Amino acid sequence: CSYSPNEVLVGPLGIDYNYLYECVFSDAEFVFYALISIWIVTLMSLLANTASNYFSPTLASICDKLNLSYDIAGVTFLALGNGAPDFFSLIASFSGGVDVLVGVGALLGGGVFVCTVVVGLVAAFCPCDVSKAVFLRDISFHIWAVFCVISIAIVQKINVAIAVSFVVFYCIYVIIVTSASLLKSFRKKTKSKRTTEAGDIALNTFNSN
């Protein structure tokens, strides 16, 4: 086998998939693809099990303890937990000498996977009602973020100001979501208070008669 190992291309568990493909299964590509498919399904199952048994209950507990709505938790804790692996993998790929297009392609490809496969499977197996206004708000921000990335790809130039503007854009999104959630909670409490007061007035009127 003429393949020379490259530490940059070694997987998180120390698995050199290129070495396996080039040397170990060079004459049995079908076996390699079958094993890789099984390995991918196994990793996704472990990830789903971890999220279901640990991440989601922990996030729900944090929301209950801090009295946060799930909208705010979704754009903060959940977004950070979902984006942290992408962030560190991109930093590792860029600092390790890997082509920038590989990291950017992985990031955008992950976004397409979430917006298509994940959304489709969730809609098929766990149907739920989604607020039209909330959906339009989130998808509008997502489209604008993708448009900004496409603009940078066309111009092929980015500076510190543009990079900071991306962070500011996310902060604005969080502020809008938080404000909408707090306003909704305030209106709900006000309505509940008015209903209680109306009931007390009606009860006092009935007792006085």
Q: Which residue has the higher pLDDT, 195 or 179?
A: 179
Distances (CA, A) of 10 to 5, 13, 17, 18, 188: 8, 8, 7, 8, 53
With 80 as the cut, is the pLDDT of residue 205 above it? Answer: no
With 80 as the cut, is the pLDDT of residue 161 above it? Answer: yes
Q: Which residue has the tokens 């290129």?
A: 18
What pLDDT band is residue 204 in, cutting at 50, 70 and 90?
A: low
Q: For residue 177, what are the contacts with CB-CB under 8 A and spacing of at least 6? A: 71, 72, 75, 137
Q: What is the mean pLDDT of residues 178-193?
A: 78
**Surface-to-core class of residue 132, CB atoms within 10 Å of its CB (0-12 exposed, 13-18 middle, 19+ buried):** exposed
The per-residue pLDDT for range 34-80, each reduced to its tens digit, is: 998 998 889 888 887 887 787 778 877 887 887 777 777 878 877 77
In angstroms, rounded to a whole number, what is the distance separating the alpha carbons of residues 35 and 41? 10
With 70 as the cut, is the pLDDT of residue 5 above it? Answer: no
With 60 as the cut, is the pLDDT of residue 7 above it? Answer: no
The per-residue pLDDT for 37 is 92
Cβ(62)–Cβ(68) under 8 Å?
Answer: yes
What pLDDT band is residue 209 in, cutting at 50, 70 and 90?
A: low
pTM above 0.75, yes or no: no
Cβ(63)–Cβ(69) under 8 Å?
Answer: yes
DSSP per position, 87-125: HHHHHHHHHTT--HHHHHHHHHHHHHHIIIIIHHHHHHH
